Structure 1
Amino acid sequence: MSKVILITGASSGIGKDAAIQLIKEGHKVYTAARRIEKMKELQEMGGFPMQMDVAKNEDVKNVVDQILQKDGKIDVLWNNAGYGLYGSVENISIAAAKKQFEVNLFGLANLTQKVLPYMRKAKSGTIINTSSMGGKMYTPLGAWYHATKHAVEGFSDCLRLETKQFNINVVVLEPGAIATEFGDVLTQPMLDNCKNTAYEPMAKLVAKTVNDSYHKPNGASPRSVITNIISKIVRSKKPKTRYRAGKWAKPMVWMRLYLGDRIFDKVIMNEVK
């Protein structure tokens, strides 16, 4: 059955790749991102790109209103927009940290609030929130990013309990290292944030680890890992509450849960030597 789907953060990476597949499967796919010029391919395929900054309430409201005017419903909302702010706690400004939360958490929450009344009245819908394996673990210099993803996890769990009575599915997606531009967007600002500080040597080591993990052939393919999962969630009447996939996702979260803080600290720091 064809569904009306809204995907944020769809101008690149896992969002764009999954959007391509969902369009091919016959769904009506609205793709939202700041860089609308990056979604021409999706429009040519039959998708509906829309310009939206998830941190701007006016943009969010306009997108939801337009979709509802055209289709009267949104069957699937995939909150996928986000980025990684890396740098030391000592040096990252609170203003920058607030922006990280505005995009990764509050933007997600705002869009969810605007879509929920219509899913609730329809007694049907699926909300997918992109967290990360970083929502269950941590790495050096990633305090603010991990804080947002831990928050997304808790937000999603509470939302799932609240909306179950209305037959709304809430799913948490926890990708590991995927071969996308995420690593590139993360590393240079991190190096800039730590330049000429006591954390510069650590930043260089973390950057090397990130580059090794996220670039092909080391990073997992979006198509083989995440796209197939998203397609499965969209088709399912009762999807799982969590899907964890991608390089390191399952073993790293397992180690975090069962090894204890001190041993896990050593595991993580061994990766950035």
Structure 2
Amino acid sequence: MSTPDTSPVALVTGGSSGIGESTARALLVQGFTVYAVARRVDRMAALASEGVHTFAMDVTDDASMVAGIDRIVGEQGRIDVLVNNAGYGSYGAVEDVPIEEARRQFEVNVFGLARLVQLVTPHMRAQKSGRIINISSIGGKFYEPFGAWYHATKFAVEGFSDSLRMELRPFGIKVVLIEPGPILTEWNEIARDSLLERSGDGAYAAHARKAHAVLTRFDEPSRASTPEEVADKIVKAALAKRPAARYPVGKGARMITTSRDLLPDRVFDEVVSRTFGTR
């Protein structure tokens, strides 16, 4: 992806914790020149001390994204890998989630991702090479009660990436989806706390509290995987000569995505309803 005399250059968004932090570190070990970005630079101090370039970027702020890509290309002359990892889950009954919060999830999880794709594509096209790795989720293949807005964003990332893969293939740019299952990061705590905040009282309270308990169990090490496992899969996608279109990763991820493909909607609805106590 780069000339023999230079290291390949990677940009990782959401680099301040979890999957993003682990990915930045894993790519650095593989010889990449790595840029990790997030809103809070102070949380990337450890990465900076290890040799990762860090600076602030807000994927809901166009000027911030434009300046960030300009900086990387100005300093390195190229960009070889974009890891679109920034994202979050905000849960609650559709009736209870303010539409402004729904829009914000799309701004972060979909439109920020898409805007960075727009910004890096001309550089990759000029190089006749590049790799765009979009972090989706098994949540882009199935569904849960109280996660409608989050799942909608990940379904969107799946469809966006599949179309993008076809568009960019003639220019030597490969597009890959990573589909993590439950991962031991702060994501789950944020998602389940937002569920109780919005739907812990009122018409949905009983079912919301059952769903909160289910999400809490997914933080158990026996049910969840580590951010490092996802980072290893991202590195594989970055280095493979012919990467797969999508990589499920983590405990139960492939089983869940496969069962969704095979089971009729009515059967899958029953499985999810029993799991979350919404029958």
TM-score by length of 2: 0.95
CA separation in 1, counterparts of 2:222 and 2:266? Answer: 31
1:103 and 2:78 are equivalent in the alignment: no
On the 8 A contact 1:180/1:215 being kept in 2, the answer is no
Gaps of 5+ in 2: none
1:88 counterpart residue number: 93
The superposition leaves residues 63-121 of structure 1 with CA deviations (integer Å, 9 ceiling, x where unpaired) of: 10100110111100000000001111111111111111000000000111001000011
Structure 2 counterpart of 1:159: 164
What secondary structure, in the 3-state scheme, does the structure 2 residue paired with 1:214 have? coil
Question: Is 1:27–2:36 an aligned residue pair?
Answer: no
Note the 1:142-181 alignment, pairs <5 A: 142-181=147-186
Counterpart of 1:267 (choices 240, 251, 271) is 271
Aligned counterpart in structure 2 of residue 221 of structure 1, from 226, 230, 236: 226
Structure 2 CA distance for aligned equivalents of residues 28 and 110 of structure 1 = 22
Q: CA deviation at 1:271?
A: 1.5
Encode CA deviations 1:13-55: one digit per residue, 9 max, x unaligned.
Answer: 1111121121122211000111211100100000011111111
Number of corresponding residues: 272
1:34-45 equivalences in 2 (<5 Å) = 34-45=39-50
Among 44, 48, 53, which residue is 1:48 paired with?
A: 53
Q: State yes or no: 1:190 paired with 2:182.
A: no
Q: Percent identity?
A: 44
Any residues of structure 2 matched to 1:111-130 within 5 Å, and which?
Answer: 111-130=116-135
1:233 aligns with 2:237: yes
Counterpart of 1:71, as a letter, is: Q
Structure 2 residue corresponding to 1:199, chosen from 192, 204, 207:
204
The reply to whether residue 211 of structure 1 matches residue 216 of structure 2 is yes
For each residue in 1:189-242, what CA deviation from the matched residue of structure 2 results, as whole angstroms up to 9, or x when unmatched? 11101132211111111111111113434311222x212111112212221110
SS at match of 2:251: coil
| Cα deviation, residue 164, structure 1 | 0.3
Give the partner amino acid of 2:109: N
| Residue type of the alignment partner of 2:21 | K
Moved over 3 A (4+): none
Alpha-carbon deviations, 1:158-180, whole Å to 9, x = none?
Answer: 10000000010000110000111
TM (norm. structure 1) is 0.97
Residues in 2 aligned to 1:6 and 1:206: alpha-carbon distance in whole angstroms: 35
**Aligned equivalents of 1:121, 1:84: Cα separation in 2:** 35
Q: Gapped runs of 5+ residues in structure 1?
A: none
Amino acid paired to 2:111: F
CA distance in 2, matches of 1:248, 1:207: 20
